[in-house]
Amino acid sequence: MSTAAAETDAGSSGRTPKNAFDRFFEISARGSSVGREVRGGFATFFTMAYIVVLNPLILAAGVDAVGGRLPVAALAAGTALVAGVMTILMGVVARFPLALAAGLGVNALVAYEIAPEMTWADAMGLVFIEGVIIGILVLTGLRTAVFRAVPTQLKTAIGVGIGLFLMIIGLVDAGFVRRIPDAAGTTVPVELGLGGKLTTWPVFVFCVGLLITLVLFVRKVKGAILIGILVSTVLAVIVEAIAKVGPSFVDGKPNPAGWSLNVPALPDKIVDLPDLSLLGKFNVLDSWDRAGWLV
């Protein structure tokens, strides 16, 4: 009896908040630690960072009814800004360790199905209205009721389907599976590697990174996913510096053995300042415009 009581007291003291930061985010109360949360945050960031590149590429490929396109730079900035703000709000307001960002699926629907039928402004208006409707469903509890009514088997199937979707994206970007245009001109991933052979450098980096991550994960090493990502990144930079693989397209011509996304390389500058030369002019103009409007 005394041993059980001692263990209970030890467990309770282990969950006692260590400081105000710990108490606010309930880190110890949830059985975690600051170090674990930091590692999880880095792993989540590196895992989700691809959306800052992929979301603009998908939306910029769409053409609306009047031939308009969305600028890639603005899309990338908006994607990063929304992800950052919503993740911070989820952490500070909801106090829940969940990262939020633009999701795949809806962006393709907007770019290839909705935008060609109207202007981009109208399409984004529909997205906004859809968000308002979802917000109303959440506040009224109807969305929770619908979610609970979905069978457990279907919920599991949806999760598996999303996982397979993300897996095929990773396999294609790694060069494991290659897009081959069919008779209709669409790119369907039906070929294994390059000509049926897995001999390219991106595939090698992918295999090494995946193997290291799996080994570390099985051995229950803390930060296994983060370590795998960092090792893969360093290895990719070294491979590119030596082999000069290059991007998947060079001068508009396909390079099947190249990197699908960005070419791995060390940045020219660690920190760079934006051009603020027009900030004063903008502030003066906006101030006089606001003063005239108020008068």
Answer yes or no: is 107 within a domain.
Answer: yes
The packing angle between helices 224-243 and 34-48, to 10°, is 40
Answer yes or no: is 73 within a domain.
Answer: yes
Answer yes or no: is 88 within a domain.
Answer: yes
Q: Is 228 helix (H, G, I), strand (E, B) or coil?
A: helix
Residue 252: the pLDDT is 63
Answer yes or no: is 52 within a domain.
Answer: yes
Answer yes or no: is 115 within a domain.
Answer: yes
Answer yes or no: is 198 within a domain.
Answer: no
Residue type, 162: I
pLDDT tier, 90 (very low <50, low <70, confident <90, very high otherwise): very high
Distance of alpha carbon 97 from alpha carbon 27, whole angstroms: 10
Residue 5: the pLDDT is 44
Distance of alpha carbon 107 from alpha carbon 55, whole angstroms: 7
Whether 46 and 228 have beta carbons less than 8 Å apart is answered as: no
Whether 235 and 212 have beta carbons less than 8 Å apart is answered as: no
Query: Which of these ranges, 63-67, 84-88, 164-168, has the smallest mean pLDDT?
Result: 164-168
CB atoms within 10 A of CB 115: 24
Residue 288: the pLDDT is 42
Question: What are the start-end ranges of the H helices in 141-247?
Answer: 142-149, 152-174, 201-218, 224-243
Residue 286, pLDDT above cutoff 50: no
- Can you tell me the mean pLDDT for 32-36? 87
* Domain of 28, in residue numbers: 20-119
Q: Please give the angle made by the CA atoms of 126, 132 and 133, to the nearest 5 degrees.
A: 90
Residue 280: the pLDDT is 46
- Can you tell me the mean pLDDT for 34-39? 88
pLDDT tier, 184 (very low <50, low <70, confident <90, very high otherwise): low
Residue 201, pLDDT above cutoff 60: yes
Answer yes or no: is 218 within a domain.
Answer: no
Distances (CA, A) of 134 to 111, 234, 241: 21, 42, 48
Tally of structural domains, the chain: 1
Q: What is the pTM of this model?
A: 0.62
Contacts of 110 (CB under 8 A, 6+ apart): 59, 62, 123, 127
pLDDT tier, 233 (very low <50, low <70, confident <90, very high otherwise): confident
CB atoms within 10 A of CB 59: 27
Residue 6: the pLDDT is 42
pLDDT tier, 243 (very low <50, low <70, confident <90, very high otherwise): confident
CB atoms within 10 A of CB 209: 21
- Can you tell me the mean pLDDT for 283-288? 42
Long-range contacts of 32-39 (CB under 8 A, 24+ apart): 35/222, 36/222, 37/97, 39/222, 39/223, 39/226
What's the pLDDT tens digit per position in 150-181? 888 888 888 888 788 778 878 887 888 877 76
Residue 77: the pLDDT is 92
Which is more confident, 42 or 14?
42
Answer yes or no: is 291 within a domain.
Answer: no
